[in-house]
């Protein structure tokens, strides 16, 4: 596979276009992009079509759950509509992948709220850019007993948790955060299941 030309060196336009598209993806350098494009080129027609259709389907069929704001193809999402989940506990996470990481632990029986980011003055991300308004609406229903602030243990995540704590405290709802033991500065998404399980079990009241 060595010595593969990169996108700009292709003469066949459809192939160089595919290389360029792969190159735009996170973590894909020019060599890997070329390798993937060649791979697609060699795929049987049906497999290549299936790949293309999967890409289109995520754009056409995935929406935000009107309750928890997680990505879903059914509304409400599978977690919000599950009668066995405790609607009285909401775990607030930054991203859908954080929710998946917590779900993988199999420990948590409450529901979630996905903020879709964290407060970051440096990047110009303010409260109105996150799904905070939607969270407060849910809390006003009076059914929620506990909010677990499970933002990432980094500067933005901590700032977001503090901001939310200030907003939620007056509502008289118990606020907890994940136990320490999560690596500082890390992403929840990458934490292993044991660490995350312990973090949920050992959550403390704020």
User: Which residues 6+ apart lie within 8 Å of 100 measured at CB?
Assistant: 189
- Minimal distance in Å, beta carbon 94 to Zn ion? 16
Q: Which two tokens stand for residue 186?
A: 């890390």
Give the integer Cα–Cα distance in Å for 70 and 80: 10
One-character DSSP codes across 85-152: SEEEEEEEESSHHHHHHHHHHT---EEEEE-SS--BGGGTB-GGGTTHHHHHHHHTTS---EEEE---
Q: Can you give the binding site for Zn ion, defined by CB under 5 A?
A: 65, 67-68, 76-77, 80
Of 186, 182, 141, 147, the closest CA to residue 166 belongs to 147
- Contact between 80 and 111 (Cβ < 8 Å): yes
The residue (of 68 and 149) whose beta carbon lies closer to Zn ion is 68
Interacting residues of 17 by C-beta distance below 8 A, sequence separation 6+: none
Q: Which is nearer to Zn ion, 21 or 146 (CB)?
A: 146
Min dist CB 71 to Zn ion, Å, is 9
**Minimum CB–partner distance for residue 93 and Zn ion (Å):** 12
The residue (of 138 and 203) whose beta carbon lies closer to Zn ion is 138
Q: How far is the CB of 76 from Zn ion (least distance, A)?
A: 5
Q: Which is nearer to Zn ion, 33 or 101 (CB)?
A: 101
- Considering the complex, what minimum distance in angstroms separates the CB of residue 112 from Zn ion? 7
- For residue 8, the 8-state DSSP code is G
In angstroms, give the least distance from the CB of 80 to Zn ion. Answer: 3
The smaller minimum CB distance to Zn ion, of residues 67 and 199, is found at 67
Of 87 and 120, the one with the shorter C-beta distance to Zn ion is: 87
């Amino acid at each position: 596979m060595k010595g593969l030309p990169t996108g700009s060196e292709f003469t066949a336009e459809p192939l160089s276009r595919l290389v360029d598209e792969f190159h735009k993806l996170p973590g894909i350098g020019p060599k890997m992009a070329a390798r993937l494009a060649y791979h697609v080129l060699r795929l049987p027609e049906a497999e290549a079509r299936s790949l293309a259709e999967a890409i289109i389907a995520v754009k056409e069929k995935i929406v935000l759950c009107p309750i928890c704001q997680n990505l879903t193809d059914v509304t409400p999402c599978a977690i919000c509509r599950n009668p066995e989940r405790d609607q009285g506990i909401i775990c607030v996470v930054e991203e859908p992948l954080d929710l998946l990481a917590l779900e993988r632990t199999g420990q948590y029986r409450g529901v979630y709220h996905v903020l879709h980011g964290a407060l970051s003055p440096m990047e110009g991300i303010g409260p109105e850019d996150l799904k905070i308004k939607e969270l407060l609406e849910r809390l006003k229903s009076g059914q929620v007993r506990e909010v677990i602030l499970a933002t990432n243990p980094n500067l933005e995540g901590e700032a977001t948790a503090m901001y939310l704590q200030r907003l939620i405290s007056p509502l008289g709802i118990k606020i907890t955060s994940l136990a320490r033991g999560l690596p500082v500065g890390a992403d929840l998404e990458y934490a292993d299941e044991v660490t995350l399980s312990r973090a949920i079990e050992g959550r403390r009241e704020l």
